[in-house]
């Protein structure tokens, strides 16, 4: 398949960005979860500015990687493959059909962590701890999706 030079440049750029974002997320993850993140730690974030910054970096990087994968790389790849522009949910279902994503429903559930990690933590310590722990436990989902998209991009660009 012959793709436009502009699309090739975009896919290459987004692939590089995703690789960086994964490294940054993994670093932030190690900073937050190197030890056991406890309810007490989360409850006392106001008194622990260093940990608060690490938690903020982790949450931000988790959400950013998800955005880059789902809102940028996936639509660009689908477009390069001749698929029409569609809404995120339809794109995720298409990614599941291509075998790049194990579950579009699970991805949507992970996207909902954003509000829990960024907005609701102000009010509810347990919600934030649960969201952070869930995100930590699902970094592999993001990494695997990124790897599968990356392999598809490489295959497409090699043609």
Round the CA-based radius of gyration of the chain to a whole number and report it: 17
C-alpha 63/C-alpha 84 separation (Å) is 25
DSSP states along 57-97: HHHHHHHHHHHIIIIIIHHHHHHHTTPPP--HHHHHHHHHH
Query: If we measure between CA atoms, which residue out of 127, 126, 132, 123 comes closest to residue 63?
Result: 132
The better pLDDT of the pair 76, 118 is held by 76
Helix, strand, coil content of the chain in percent (nearest 5): 80, 0, 20
CB 131 within 8 A of CB 113: yes
Mean pLDDT for the chain overall = 94
| Model pLDDT, residue 125 | 92
| Model pLDDT, residue 121 | 64
Average pLDDT over residues 26-36: 94
Enter the tokens of residue 109: 């559930």
Digit-coded pLDDT (tens) for 77-130: 999 999 999 999 999 999 999 999 999 999 999 999 988 888 756 678 999 999
Average pLDDT over residues 65-85: 96
């Amino acid at each position: 398949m012959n793709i436009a030079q502009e699309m090739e440049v975009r896919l290459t750029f987004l692939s590089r960005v995703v690789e960086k974002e994964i490294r940054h997320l993994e670093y932030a993850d190690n900073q937050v979860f190197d030890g056991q993140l406890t309810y007490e730690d989360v409850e006392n974030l106001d008194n622990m500015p260093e940990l608060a910054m690490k938690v903020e970096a982790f949450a931000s990087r988790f959400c950013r990687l998800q955005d880059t994968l789902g809102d940028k790389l996936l639509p660009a790849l689908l477009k390069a493959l001749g698929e029409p522009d569609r809404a995120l949910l339809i794109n995720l279902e298409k990614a599941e059909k291509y075998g790049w994503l194990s579950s579009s429903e699970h991805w949507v559930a992970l996207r909902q962590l954003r509000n829990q990690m960024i907005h609701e933590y102000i009010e509810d310590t347990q919600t934030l701890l649960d969201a952070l722990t869930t995100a930590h436990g699902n970094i592999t989902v993001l990494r695997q999706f990124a790897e599968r998209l990356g392999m598809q991009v490489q295959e497409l660009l090699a043609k």
